[in-house]
Structure formats: C-alpha cells, structure tokens
Amino acid sequence: MIAALPMYDRPEIGGATDRLWEAIRDALRARGLDAPDALTRDQEIWEIWQSPDLILAQTCGLPYRARLAPHVTLVATPDFGLPGCPPGYYNSVIVARSKTPGAKPAVNEGLSQSGWAALTNWAAETGMALDTPVMTGGHEASAKAVAEGRADLAAIDAQTWRLLTRSTPWTANLIEIMRTPPTPALPLITAGDQDPVPIRAGLEDAMTALGPEDRTALDLKGFTIIPKAEYLTQPIPPAP
C-alpha cells in the first residue's frame, strides 16, 4: 500500500508531516489495515491518487470532482482552522503587488480549486477579464511570479499562504486584495474498494497521539466529514 500527503508537504514542516503519518500509520495498523512505513514522495501525483494500492492521500477538491470521484473513496477532510472558514473548509487569498492590480494572473494549474477555480469565480464577480495566465506549477511559484513582476495577481490556497508568510520573507512584498468565499477543503481519499470507516477512526486516534508542537506546526485542528455532494456541487471552471 502507498500513502501521500503532498498538498502542504513543505520542507519546513516535513518532520511534523512525517510524524503525522507515523501516527496515522500506527493507528491504521492497530485496526488491521496495511499501511506503509513512510509517505511516497517520488511518484507522480496522479498515479498515487488513482493507484489501487492507495490507503490514504490528500487531493484537491477540483481534481476530486472533475476526475477522481467515481474511482476513489472519500475519507475525511483536514481542518486547519482557517479564519472565516467553517471546520474543514478553506479559501484562497488573492495576492498582488498593489491594491489595483493588472489582469495577468499566475496560476499553479488548471485543475486547482484554490489557484484557478476560485480565481475565475472572483474575476467574474468583480468584472475583471483575466489575461492569458502565467502557468507556474505550484502556489509558491505563483506567488513568486507576482512578487517578481512576471504576473499581476494570483489566488493562493489560504493554508499555503499562511505557511509561506511564515517561512519566505519575500511574501512581505505582496498584499492581500481579498479572500474568496469558503469551499470544502482538500480531501483525504483512499482506493475505491477501501472501507473509509476504520480509516476515519485511525485519523481520530492519530490526532490524539500527535504532539501539540506538531499540531501547531501543521495548523491541524482535526478531521471533519464533508459529504461527497458538497464537493460535487462546486462548478468546474473552463480550462485556462
């Protein structure tokens, strides 16, 4: 079996992420489930998400509803206690160099709820006609593209933005234009034939076992159950 927690697996919290997985792993094994010793970090993410050997991985809401939902099982959603968001929800921070940015966005990828779908919704609501985006491959790269003047604005996952502002001084050159409305946060999934109930129980036990310093480093408050329909009712935006 394989497992991955790639969405917030940043170097400065890598140790805490590993210890979170170790707590989950031990809790799953205590329930008779096969869980790998360590997280998979050297495999293409779509291969991980679609693997029949997947015991647990985090994905994004847009890939989940656009492609994965018929083939995987929804387990739970981490709650990061983000401001203005209900438990298990998140939003995007629209960042720019000035309060009146131009219309050229930096976008991590077209199948990103926080980096593209939230941005297109915000642009439609504010009447902004977005220019052809700079495609960056990641939220940090999008924020840096704005900071360096290669793009005018970007929508950054609010939890990623919180982590970036703690560890990357250049984020001080960016300002928050606004935060988008909350949507269901990045879900945890397992292979389609897995029973999610014992995995959910394992997540709860893991939170109990995880030390307070690691919970603080990860901003992890716990895990919530958001119905599949809540994810599927979100619109799928046109490709960039």
Whether 2-81+184-232 shares its CATH topology with 92-181 is answered yes
Mean pLDDT of 81-87: 98
Residue 1 confidence class, pLDDT cut points 50, 70, 90: very high
pLDDT in tens, 17-74: 999 999 999 999 999 999 999 999 999 999 999 999 999 999 999 999 999 999 999 9
The alpha carbon of residue 35 and the mean position of all alpha carbons in its chain are separated, in whole angstroms, by 22
**pLDDT for res 41:** 97
Sheet with strand 72-79: strands edge to edge: 2-4, 54-58, 188-191, 72-79, 222-224
- pLDDT, the chain, mean: 98
CA distance 100 to 6: 33
Tokens of 206: 């893991």
pLDDT in tens, 95-129: 999 999 999 999 999 999 999 999 999 999 999 99
Q: What number does CATH give the domain 92-181?
A: 3.40.190.10
CATH 3.40.190 fits 2-81+184-232, yes or no: yes
**pLDDT for res 219:** 98
Q: For 65, what's the count of Cα atoms within 13 Å in the CB-facing half-sphere?
A: 20
**Would you state the torsion angle of the CA atoms of residues 204, 205, 207, 213, taken in this order, to the nearest 10 degrees?**
180
Full-prediction pTM beyond 0.85?
yes
Domain extents in the chain: 2-81+184-232, 92-181
